[in-house]
Amino acid sequence: MTHSPIRKVFQGVADRRQMFRMFDRHHQRPGRFEGDASPLHCGEWFETGRAEHDYMLDILPPLWMRGEMFAMREFLTGSITSVFYTLRIDGKFRYFHAYCDLAQSRSPVEMRDAIVERESWPVKAMTHQERIEHIWSATHDEYRGYAGDQWLPEHRGKRTVLYYGGRRGTMLKLLEDLSDDEIAAKLPVHLRHLPERIAA
């Protein structure tokens, strides 16, 4: 279940309900209160609206504010906390949330640079991993989970989603094993036909 590289986990602009759901996308994981969950969260980011950004700024005094970013005072786990950004991209102000490791002094800056680079792509596209992460973020808790004891030992703890397979009925599949057609079927219509970009 380890992740960690910087990754976009939701396509589009998250409203307040979606934002709060994504603050802990991994709350169903087995052994939630055991071990270090930092690698699961660190590096995740998504876009919010201005109202959501400003709401979070007003909740508590931030831990710090630096130019176009501020960090939340409450830590999610270890040295991981929410950093919110106001970034000018292609002449427009846009707003983002990310989980950064404040034990790494350059983490918020590296995150900012990664967001700007990703959102400045000249063609609207999604990587394979972004498609998978969007499916996970957008799937209701009742239709996603983690492989348990009925799975082979090497798959236990991996993310699963329910998939409707036509005549074969509804089945539980490992998220990472979804075929391209199954991924397309689970994406919203406006995202299904975006070209796939290979991650740099």
Q: Give the tens place of pLDDT for each residue, 115-127.
A: 999 998 876 778 8
Q: 136-158: b or e for each residue (b if 16 or more CB lie within 10 Å)?
A: bbbbeeeebbbbeeeeeeeeeee
- Beta strands in 49-112, from DSSP E residues, in sequence order: 64-66, 69-77, 80-89, 92-101
pLDDT at 121: 80
Residues in the chain: 200
Residue 182 pLDDT: 87
Q: Which pLDDT score, from 0 to 100, does residue 87 have?
A: 97
Q: Is 197 part of a structural domain of the chain?
A: no
In a domain, 58, yes or no: yes
Tokens of 61: 């005094």
Distances (CA, A) of 35 to 1, 38, 99: 12, 9, 18
Total domains present in the chain: 2
46 lies in the same domain as 77: yes
SS3 call for 154: helix
Q: Based on the domain organization, do 112 and 137 belong to the same domain?
A: no
Choose the final residue of a domain: 71, 90, 119.
119
Q: What is the mean pLDDT of residues 153-168?
A: 84
- Averaged pLDDT, 89-118: 94
**pLDDT tens digits, residue range 175-197?**
999 988 888 888 877 776 666 66
The predicted model scores a pTM of 0.86
Using alpha carbons, select from 70, 105, 74 the residue that is nearest to residue 84.
Answer: 70
